[in-house]
Amino acid sequence: MTTRLSKSRRMRDMMAQGVVVSPGIFDGISARLVEKMGFKAASLSGAGLSNSRLGQPDVGVMSLMENVDASTRLANILDIPVFADADTGYGNAVTFYHTVQYFEQSGVAGLNVEDQVSPKRCGHMRGKEIISELEMARKIEAGVSAKKDPDFLINARTDAVAVEGIEGAIRRAKTYIAAGADMVYADAIESEDDIRRFVEAVAPVPVSVNMGFGIRSRPTTPLISVARLAELGVRRVTVPRMLPSAAIHNMTQALLLLRDSVETGVVHDRPDMLAGIEDITELMNYAKINELEQRYSTREDLERRYGDGEVDLVRRAAH
C-alpha cells in the first residue's frame, strides 16, 4: 500500500528539485484558479486576506483565528501545498508555539513568520521596526518544538534590509536557521546581487523571494524572471499581490461600465471582460455536485426536479 506524501513533504521535495512558483491567493476563486492553471503551490497573502475579508490594510488588524479559519478553508479545497502568512507570530515565543500548532492543524504545508515589531506593517510600507535577533530566534525555537510533522515548514522572514541593510539580513537569517528555521526570506531585498549574496550565505537552506508584479510604482525588489531566480539558487518565488491587484483592476472596469449604463441608459454587453457562467461552474466543480445528486437522490426526487422524461438523460450526462 502506497502512503501519500504530506503536502509539507511534497513542498520540500519540489524545492529540492528546483524553483517553485507560488502565486498569492486570498479567496476560493483565486485558490481554484491557481491550481487549475497548473501551478504546483500557492501562498496565502496576509495582505490579501486582510484586504478582502476585512476591508482593512495589512497592519496587524486580522486576528490569529481569523487567519487560521481562512487558511483552513482554502488549504483544504486544494490538492497543492499552500503556505500561510502568520505575520509576526501573534505575540511572543509562547504565543508562536500555539500559532504553529493551529496552522499545522489547518492543513497548510508551512507558514511565514517575520521579525517585525507587532503590530506589523505591510512589506512595502515605510517605518518598519524589527525585534531583536534573540527574541526572533526564541520564537522559531518554540515553533519548531510545537511541530508534530517534522516536514511542516517554518519560513523565517526578516525585514532587516530596510533597517540594517543586506548584511544585517544575512546575519539574522543565519541566526534563524540555527534556531531551526526550514527556509528563509529577506523581504524588500533591493537587487539581484543582494539576492545572490543572500542565497550563497545561507546555502543549502532554501530561500524564498517575493516578486511584486502589478505594482505601478517601482517595486522594492526589482522584477527578475523565474529562470534567472532559479539560476541564482532561489527555491521559492511568491507573487502575493498579482491576483488581488488584477481582481481590483478588472472589477473597477466592470463597475465603471455598469455606472455608465445606469447614468446614460446605454447597455454595455462586454463578454470579453467577464467569465462565462460555464467558466464559473467548471471552476467551482458543479459537475461533482451533479454526480453526487444523481448517485444518491431517489428517482422520485429526480423526477420532481427534472421531469419524468429527463431523469435517464440527466443520469447519463452525470456519468
Domain with residue 110: its CATH number is 3.20.20.60
For position 239, what pLDDT does the model report? 95
Residue that finishes a domain, picked among 183, 215, 241? 241
Q: pLDDT digit string (tens) for 101-138?
A: 999 999 999 999 999 998 776 655 666 899 999 999 99
In a domain, 1, yes or no: no
In a domain, 55, yes or no: yes
Shared domain for 237 and 262, answered yes or no, is: no
Q: Which three cell numbers stand for residue 27?
A: 479567496
Residue that finishes a domain, picked among 193, 223, 241? 241
In a domain, 2, yes or no: no
For position 310, what pLDDT does the model report? 57
Shared domain for 143 and 269, answered yes or no, is: no
Contact residues for 91 (Cβ-Cβ < 8 A; gap 6+)? 99, 118
Shared domain for 164 and 271, answered yes or no, is: no
In a domain, 72, yes or no: yes
Shared domain for 295 and 233, answered yes or no, is: no
Q: How many domains does the chain have?
A: 2
DSSP H helices, 203-285, are: 226-231, 242-264, 277-283
Shared domain for 275 and 211, answered yes or no, is: no
Q: Which three cell numbers stand for residue 86?
A: 502568520
Shared domain for 139 and 280, answered yes or no, is: no
Output the DSSP codes for 75-133.
HTT-SS-EEEE-TT-SSSHHHHHHHHHHHHHHT-SEEEEE-BPSSP--TT-S---B--H
Q: Which three cell numbers stand for residue 297?
A: 437522490
Shared domain for 164 and 300, answered yes or no, is: no
Shared domain for 80 and 21, answered yes or no, is: yes
Q: How far apart are CA 104 and CA 150, in angstroms?
A: 11
Residue that finishes a domain, picked among 220, 241, 262? 241
In a domain, 280, yes or no: yes
Shared domain for 166 and 76, answered yes or no, is: yes
Shared domain for 67 and 204, answered yes or no, is: yes
User: Residue 85: what are its φ and ψ, rounded to 5°?
Assistant: -115, 105
Shared domain for 211 and 295, answered yes or no, is: no
Contact (CB, 8 A) for 121 and 127: yes
Q: pLDDT digit string (tens) for 22-35?
A: 999 999 999 999 99
- The parent domain of residue 216 ranges over 7-241
In a domain, 219, yes or no: yes
Shared domain for 193 and 277, answered yes or no, is: no
Q: What is the pTM of this model?
A: 0.91
pLDDT in tens, the chain (319 residues): 456 899 999 999 999 999 999 999 999 999 999 999 999 999 998 899 999 999 998 888 999 999 999 999 999 999 999 999 999 999 999 999 999 999 999 999 999 999 999 877 665 566 689 999 999 999 999 999 999 999 999 999 999 998 999 999 999 999 999 999 999 999 999 999 999 999 999 999 999 999 987 555 555 789 999 999 999 999 999 999 999 999 999 999 999 999 999 999 999 999 999 999 999 999 999 999 989 988 998 888 888 888 865 555 555 555 5
